[in-house]
Amino acid sequence: MSQPLIAARNAPVRQLKTSAEPRPELQVVTPPATHRLRLPLPVACVLLLTLGLLGLLMTNIAIAGDAYKITDLQVTSGRLADQQQAVAEDLAQQSSPEHLATRAGQLGMVPAPDAVHLTAAGAVGKATPAPKASTPAATPPVASTDPQPHGQTPAAR
């Protein structure tokens, strides 16, 4: 055997000192009551994840609503572009020289005679009176392409 083991065996055993005072008995000590207000980590993670998903859902709903509005506005824009093109074509057709001459004749207008130019020396050209126009029986109303104000008739303007 080794030397330390032999020395440990031969060491004197200490005796408990007995004193005149009795030892106090051992008691279980309870820790002071603490109120932990912090949420445990798993509950906090679930709450944070739920709030994030709810925010994402609200964002997606708002984006979808805006997409529907954009689609409706695009349809309205296309319809208005078609209407504008139809009005522009009608205006071009009504302002053509043939149509203007026809309307002028219906209103009783006659072609202008030869032009006379005035100079410092006198008039150049021969003035001739315009031919008398026959009175039109009934002139059809002019088709107006101007939008009328709401609730007004052409006679009220």
Strands (E) in the chain, as ranges, are: 117-118, 123-124
**Cβ-proximal residues to 113 (8 Å cutoff; 6+ apart), any chain:** 127, 128, 129, 130
Tens of pLDDT, residue by residue over 62-120, are 999 999 999 999 999 999 999 999 999 999 999 999 999 899 989 988 887 778 888 88
